[in-house]
Structure 1
């Protein structure tokens, strides 16, 4: 019986063309009826697909038809079902962000890569960092800070000079963004079950936004972040090029 594949693409012309060609070749089905969803685009589009409710039960196999493709496999129209059948599985647990804004309204969002806090104006942000109910840093003056999953540790976290975290390490990366005081604080590795809370100090003068992947809340006063161990998504990678290998190789790239 043929493998039931659903093809989803970003709006880039090359991604749309690939979707049409692959669906014609392999007989695409709806995402609801699929055994595997094939995502065509870049890493940003992969994150969009992982945020779909279907991603909780349908494995995602990405092929790069965008720019950055760390989470994607190389594009080829031939041998697709064989590649998927032999693919390595990577199980991803997302973060849950709960953000409270200055009006007292609460927002909840999921993050596959990271939750980041960012200053909204020219004023430096001032954050208090609380881990599992204990104040660990009374005041951090910075452009922002983020909490990254192992899968997301090679993304914004790495650009902010945070550590690359192996997938099986069961830790989260807490990384400052352009720390001013304490200038030499480089962040921390936290147990994956840690409950992280950011309190925004002086939010009227120093407004801060919170972003969970691509969902933003402006003018936050408190942001809580924790791994959602009850939720998981499965990503598929070509044999020998699994996510664990990619994360390891990234540490030796020059």
Structure 2
């Protein structure tokens, strides 16, 4: 471990800032540009921000997160003790993000990665009307709803679970397609699709019923079409303590009440 070059990132919360000061007293740190691993202090939201920042900079490093937030589902337990030893014993987990390609009603195009999910959401009191297309085939000519989302296995326990979507094992190589408050077809509750699937949405009547597309925390408003697929060109690596057993935690979420 003596050659490990670590960079430190912390959320602006008081707990994370206190932890950052403690770790800076104990260890030597390098700028992100010189590091081979990032230690992230905060919650799941801050971890997503850190991963997105690496994607933006086109410099992707393994990340060891420690929970100083609320849930910390994707984080390890916080401890200032034996940090180098812990990192040396970690188990890596690879995440392939989604790629969202969105076109707005005025013809602008936007591309954004999503590690947890891409969601389409109505912008006004009017329900959204969406055409749902899977691998070029229209599977739902008209879905009337508050929205819909596509979630990765890593994100299936987040917004997807709140919307009554399925929990996906990490090694399932599947995506969850989950409606949000569907009105018609009333009995449709979503689908589980192979990871290689390309999912598209066309907004019906986008001026009267405007819809936004959100890739994790990044929003594009007034979309007309949205295409979503797994992006294997930018795999992300999360580092976990051996006892963390993220796959077991996701499995056990199916029995939580």
TM-score by length of 2: 0.96
1:27 matched to 2:61? The reply is: no
Asked if the contact 1:90–1:235 (Cα under 8 Å) also holds between the matched residues in 2, the reply is yes
Count of aligned residue pairs for this structure pair: 254
Query: CA offset at residue 35 of structure 1?
Result: 2.5
Query: CA offset at residue 245 of structure 1?
Result: 2.0
Match of residue 126, structure 1, among 129, 133, 138: 129
Counterparts of residues 89-128 of structure 1 (less than 5 Å) = 89-128=92-131
Query: CA offset at residue 28 of structure 1?
Result: 1.5
Query: CA offset at residue 232 of structure 1?
Result: 0.3
TM-score by length of 1: 0.97
Query: 2: distance between equivalents of 1:2 and 1:129?
Result: 50
Question: In the alignment, which residue of structure 1 is the partner of 2:71?
Answer: 68
Query: CA offset at residue 104 of structure 1?
Result: 0.5
Runs of 4+ in 1 over 3 A off after TM superposition: 54-57
* Aligned partner of residue 168 in structure 1, secondary structure: coil
Structure 1: runs of 5+ lacking an equivalent: none
CA deviation vs aligned residue, 1:102-128 (integer Å, no higher than 9, x gap): 101000000000000000000010110
Query: 2: distance between equivalents of 1:55 and 1:98?
Result: 18
In structure 2, relative to structure 1, the CA distance for the partners of 1:55 and 1:159 (3 Å cut) is farther
Question: In the alignment, which residue of structure 2 is the partner of 1:10?
Answer: 11
Query: 2: distance between equivalents of 1:19 and 1:119?
Result: 39
Counterparts of residues 136-175 of structure 1 (less than 5 Å) = 136-175=139-178
CA deviation vs aligned residue, 1:37-84 (integer Å, no higher than 9, x gap): 010011110000111236853110101111221111110100111111
* Aligned partner of residue 14 in structure 1, secondary structure: helix
Match of residue 227, structure 1, among 226, 230, 254: 230
Query: 1: distance between equivalents of 2:13 and 2:190?
Result: 37
